[in-house]
Structure 1
């Protein structure tokens, strides 16, 4: 807190601590004097009669006198110890209460979102600031998987780069990535976190903080422009592919292209695209990413289709058709995944722009269905060949009856319109069994294959 960094506050706090220590020392000194006085009185009441040959008081003989003396001498010591223990416990309770009040104040006034997850990646704690960043109330996030608001791939990429730059520790800080807001917006965030460990040093989850980061606040506009211009000219874009498997046969039928940036990666890939959008160069960067992906796809087995993610704005750009026709990959092997998180005001120009490419064999997919603006209207207007269900619908579909019901409804709907249904983000055997039982067409996720930059991995998919 700012006021706690004020030197005057520190001096006042130090003075109060010294004053409290002096009072405690004085109080303990008086107690010691009382104890010494009592012990001296007890000792004299027993030792003086023995010295003058008189009988001990209370009928105590000489053989039992010394044990009685020791027992009596222990009484004030026990009283003093008990009193000091009670005082210590009271101080600790007061300190715990003050700390609890301070933490409660921080949680309810801080703009930083404090969170914690269990070992399964599901939220176990969320501070009120999550409402402004994610659109969810804290209680709505509890039990949900972290992938409902943060793409684990983006976070992992940024963490790996931070780890390489800073240290071998599994904690991280100043990691810039993208958060999915409840209304479909993409929010640039700065994340810090660390693993939670038990007494034996075993990890049992993560905890950390998160804050909104404006692209213009992250860097000056001039520096952002310079960085993006360098990306557009220096060839630092590379493409990783993630396999998409048929659920009936288990074979790989396609591969989604994922843009990566070689060199320093302070930002996650999606954060870089948002940075480019902040200066109006997002279309140029997406076109370059598409060209790079199609050129790299020459290393894939010829039987696989190549899926590339594009925003609706890029689909309206005439450079898109040129990028596809100039590629060595035939249109019949290309799937354009139009993300659902960007609102489309008028679908007619979008449909007209895509019509010639579709007639040439190119297929359209609605990406992240169920995660953003237009939902079913987006699907109805575009009439896609593939529908990709967002990870937010798939995560926990094996245990949530409502999610299973939605999945079953989407299976029926996609069958009626002749579209393949692809489940995104499969991470557990239970999720895979659930989507297979529902009758979904295909799936992708870390369980079925991680993104790879290695051509030797791609060749095994054929």
Structure 2
């Protein structure tokens, strides 16, 4: 039975997807890619998101999922076991089971494994009925999807969502990442998030990383997954290679001179103001972007390039004491992290990251 949002008289918007890599520092490889909305000719996400309204929101949300899955099935090498991260609009999901039909049908048609799908819930989209959001997450997890909270540390009820939804993954907002190599306050906050996530068996991803110094500091803090312009820029209907130094197990914080920075101010995917970021990331509805979420609203050419070198010595920060216990076990069960299953009681209902 169709849900309230299903309407045949709503036209689809014209758009496509760009893909930005997510890097697994624990194993020195690409963990997956996030699908980010773009205009058909590579126009910014906002050129598409600006056309989304209450009438076409549901159709757009559905079309974004299908388009991302179809492209990923064509682009992802089967042997690489990559994840596809898709932003979704909770307010476009009227009935969790019915609203998944197009997603499941698309995955079956192109042979894309459901266990490789990650759905990101942006913190910038207000949800008036928390119970409805919990029902969505429960159904998605039942289907075998990985659930993520995007822009953690910004937007609506960050800690409440972490407790109520118990996601598999949290993506630390770029505002906390920017300049973390020289900011003790940001280091303290991120370290606290890592320790808290360790206790809850949640994997942490830092988004919006623009410099090697930020990357090195976040590694010291115990963050295992990364996304941002330093690693790779969003690429239209193609996969971007990651920065060659990202694959080095140990970064030298002192021997590299800073590379010249472009004249343009930081903006775009990694530094876009919250009000300009689409929440769906496919960019879908609300705001959000990471390096370019699906819906980031900025052109790909305005942000600082990922080749930025070190401009200052990144301080070494002690890793949280929890690392080495539950957090390490969790990493062992995540995607390329290994095959170990989570030991918590939730393991039966939460998909391993394979």
Cross-structure match for 2:113: 330
Distance 1:459 1:341, change over 3 A: closer
Shift of 1:357: 2.6
Matched, 1:296 2:75: no
2:236 match: secondary structure: coil
Equivalent residue in structure 1 for 2:52, among 259, 268, 276 = 276
Distance (whole Å) between structure 1 residues aligned to residue 223 and residue 211 of structure 2: 16
* Partner in structure 2 of residue 206 of structure 1: none
Q: Does 1:308 align with 2:308?
A: no
Change (3 A) 1:263 1:445: closer
From 374, 379, 383, the counterpart of 2:166: 383
Q: Distance in 2 between matches of 1:457 and 1:407?
A: 27
> Quick one: distance in 2 between partners of 1:289 and 1:454?
13
Work out whether residues 177 and 186 of structure 2, in 8 Å CA contact, stay in contact via their aligned partners in 1.
Answer: yes
> Where does the alignment leave 5 or more consecutive residues of structure 1 unmatched?
1-227
Q: Does 1:435 align with 2:218?
A: yes
SS of alignment partner, residue 248 of structure 1? coil
Larger Rg: 1
* CA distance in 2: counterparts of 1:458 and 1:321, whole angstroms: 31
The aligned length equals: 229
Q: What are the residue-to-residue correspondences of 1:222-371 with 2, within 5 Å?
A: 232=12, 236-263=14-41, 265=43, 268-270=44-46, 272-277=48-53, 279-298=54-73, 299-302=75-78, 303-318=81-96, 320-326=99-105, 327=107, 328-371=111-154
Aligned to 1:419: 202
Cα displacement (A) at 1:249:
2.4
CA distance in 1, matches of 2:86, 2:45: 14
With 300-309 and 426-435 compared, the bigger mean Cα shift is at 300-309
* Secondary structure at the counterpart of residue 182 of structure 2: coil
Cα 1:377–1:306, aligned 2, differ >3 Å: closer, same or farther? same
**Larger RCO, structures 1/2 (Cα 8 Å, 6+ apart):** 2
Shift of 1:313: 1.1
Match of 1:408 among 191, 197, 210: 191
| Alpha-carbon distance in structure 2 between the residues aligned to 1:455 and 1:264 | 12
Counterpart-to-counterpart distance in 2, 1:459 and 1:295: 23
Residue 377 of structure 1: CA displacement? 0.9
How far apart are the structure 2 equivalents of 1:370 and 1:323? Answer: 32
Q: CA deviation at 1:458?
A: 7.0
Provide the rounded CA distance (Å) in 2 between the counterparts of 1:263 and 1:250. 33
Q: Distance in 2 between matches of 1:443 and 1:410?
A: 15
Q: Tell me the CA shift for residue 351 of structure 1.
A: 1.8
Q: Hey, what's the Cα distance between the residues in 2 that align with 1:436 and 1:366? A: 20
Q: Distance in 2 between matches of 1:250 and 1:397?
A: 22
Matches within 5 A, 1:58-207: none
Cα distance in structure 1, aligned partners of 2:223 and 2:235: 25
Secondary structure class of the residue paired with 1:306: strand
Task: Give the direction of change, closer, same or farther, for the CA distance of 1:244–1:263 in structure 2 (3 Å limit).
Answer: closer
Distance 1:459 1:330, change over 3 A: farther
CA distance in 2, matches of 1:453, 1:405: 36
More helix by share: 1
Identify unmatched segments of 5+ residues in structure 2: 1-8, 245-335, 337-354
1:51 maps to none
Counterpart position of 1:52 = none
RMSD: 2.6
Counterparts in 2 of 1:433 and 1:377: CA distance versus 1, 3 Å: same
CA distance in 1, matches of 2:62, 2:198: 32
Aligned pair in 2 of structure 1 residues 305, 320: CA closer, same or farther (>3 Å)? farther
In 1, are the aligned partners of 2:123 and 2:156 still within 8 Å (CA)? yes
Distance in 2, matches of 1:432 and 1:381, equals: 30
